[in-house]
């Protein structure tokens, strides 16, 4: 039995998207041990993944931190990986390749660079939907793919019965009105107007809730919805996934929770402005759809409400 390494540092939405590719790597290599190298926010999460043997933490310290880099590379070399699947495809992981596998091909180090189609430039290739890029990468590296194009994030869920009991969660609509501070272009501004319409139209049939991240708790007070926390702290990723999975409907900006929702096949919609397209990020699924507009400021709350399918 030999060892195989997968690299996936983040982000949250990317982790959900990569679930199918990780499963396909496992299905094609059941006789080997599968390791994954990830960053701190996803270290504990990947311990739950049934296809992973062991998780390696990459603190992603500066490349000029030679002591850290030496220790990390020594650990990786000690495990004698016969193959590496780079699902992060970043400048950092390209740097790791130069150190670990300088003469590798698409079979020993699989990345978007080593598997790049001969008729496309990297810029052109990166315009394709993310799941299609993963699928091409794995197929070109000799794998048969079955799950890459339809990721299943259900492995991440956990028991949240105590949270359900505390907040009396039965039928509920969960909203994700947040986004990263540096990506305000993704932020739809009319969630409170939507909440009022939901209350007016559905009365008390559905509770409206939000689940803020650690840096969003303060902002959550601006929304007229019940804030779901675990003993005053943000839900961890497995708890968040379970909250989404058990919901009646999800409405979200284009953020990590939207991608979790899509790959749990939850009912819902994600809101897209001009920052990117739903097509490129492969977010639409059987039950989860997208609203794509040029300007999110011109998308009315009533238009979003009309997409709620209960």
Closest by CA to 234, choosing from 211, 251, 260, is 211
89: left (phi over 0), alpha (psi -120 to 50) or beta: left
Q: Judge whether residue 180 has pLDDT over 90.
A: no
Confirm whether 3-151 and 161-305 share one CATH topology.
yes
Burial, 88: exposed, middle or buried (Cβ in 10 Å; 0-12, 13-18, 19+)? buried
Closest by CA to 230, choosing from 164, 287, 171, is 164
Structure-token pair, residue 136: 């091409």
Confidence label for 184 from pLDDT (cuts 50, 70 and 90): confident
pLDDT digits (tens, 9 = 90+) for 77-100: 999 999 999 999 999 999 999 999
- In order of 37, 49, 93, 261, the CA distances from 44 in angstroms are 12, 10, 21, 20
Q: Judge whether residue 22 has pLDDT over 90.
A: yes
pLDDT digits (tens, 9 = 90+) for 192-214: 999 999 999 999 899 999 999 99
Query: Residue 218: what pLDDT?
Result: 92
Q: CATH number of 161-305: 3.30.1370.60, 3.40.50.300, 3.40.50.2000, 3.30.420.40?
A: 3.40.50.2000
Query: Residue 182: what pLDDT?
Result: 74
Q: pTM (2 decimals)?
A: 0.94
| Nearest-angstrom CA–CA distance, 229 and 245 | 16
Placement of tokens 């909440």 in the chain: 195
Class for the domain spanning 3-151:
alpha beta
Confidence label for 263 from pLDDT (cuts 50, 70 and 90): very high
Confidence label for 148 from pLDDT (cuts 50, 70 and 90): very high
* CB of 58 closer than 8 Å to CB of 28: no
Dihedral of CA atoms 258, 177, 239, 205 in degrees, nearest 10, equals -100
Q: Kindly list the domain boundaries of the chain, sorted by start residue.
A: 3-151, 161-305
pLDDT digits (tens, 9 = 90+) for 117-137: 999 898 999 999 999 999 999
Whole-number percent of the chain with pLDDT over 90:
91
Query: Residue 237: what pLDDT?
Result: 98
- Residues whose CB falls within 8 Å of the CB of residue 166, separated by 6 or more in sequence, listed in order: none
3-state secondary structure 63-87: CCCHHHHHHHHHHHHHCCEEEEEEC
Confidence label for 25 from pLDDT (cuts 50, 70 and 90): very high
Pairing of strands 172-176, 54-57: unpaired
| Nearest-angstrom CA–CA distance, 78 and 58 | 16
DSSP secondary structure string, 79-123? TTEEEEEESS--HHHHHHHHHH-TT--TTTEE-TTTT--TTS-HH
pLDDT digits (tens, 9 = 90+) for 265-280: 999 999 999 989 999 9
């Amino acid at each position: 039995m030999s060892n195989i390494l997968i690299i996936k540092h983040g982000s949250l939405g990317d982790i959900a998207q990569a679930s199918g590719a990780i499963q396909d790597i496992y299905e094609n290599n059941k006789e080997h041990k599968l390791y994954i190298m990830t960053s701190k926010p996803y270290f504990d999460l990947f311990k739950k993944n049934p296809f992973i043997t062991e998780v390696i933490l990459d603190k992603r310290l500066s490349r000029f931190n030679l002591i850290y880099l030496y220790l990390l590379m020594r650990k990786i070399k000690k495990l004698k990986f016969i193959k590496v699947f780079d699902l992060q495809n970043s400048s950092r992981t390209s740097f790791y390749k130069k150190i670990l596998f300088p003469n590798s091909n698409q079979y020993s180090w699989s990345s978007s660079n080593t598997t790049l189609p001969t008729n496309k430039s990297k810029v052109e290739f990166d315009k394709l939907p993310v799941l299609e890029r993963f699928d091409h990468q794995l197929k070109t590296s000799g794998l048969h793919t079955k799950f890459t194009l339809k990721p299943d994030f259900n492995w991440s869920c956990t028991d949240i019965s105590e949270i359900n009991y505390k907040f009396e969660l039965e039928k509920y609509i969960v909203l994700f009105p947040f986004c990263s501070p540096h990506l305000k272009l993704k932020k739809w501004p009319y969630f409170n107007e939507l909440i009022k319409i939901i209350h007016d139209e559905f009365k008390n049939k559905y509770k409206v809730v939000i689940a803020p991240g650690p840096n969003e708790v303060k902002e959550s007070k601006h929304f007229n919805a019940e804030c779901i926390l675990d003993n005053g702290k943000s839900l961890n990723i497995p708890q968040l996934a379970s909250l989404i999975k058990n919901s009646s409907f999800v409405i979200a900006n284009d953020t990590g929770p939207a991608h979790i929702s899509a790959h749990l096949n939850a009912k819902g919609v994600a809101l897209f402005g001009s920052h990117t397209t739903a097509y490129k990020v492969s977010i639409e699924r059987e039950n989860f759809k997208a609203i794509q507009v040029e300007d999110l400021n011109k998308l009315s709350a009533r238009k979003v409400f009309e997409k709620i399918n209960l």
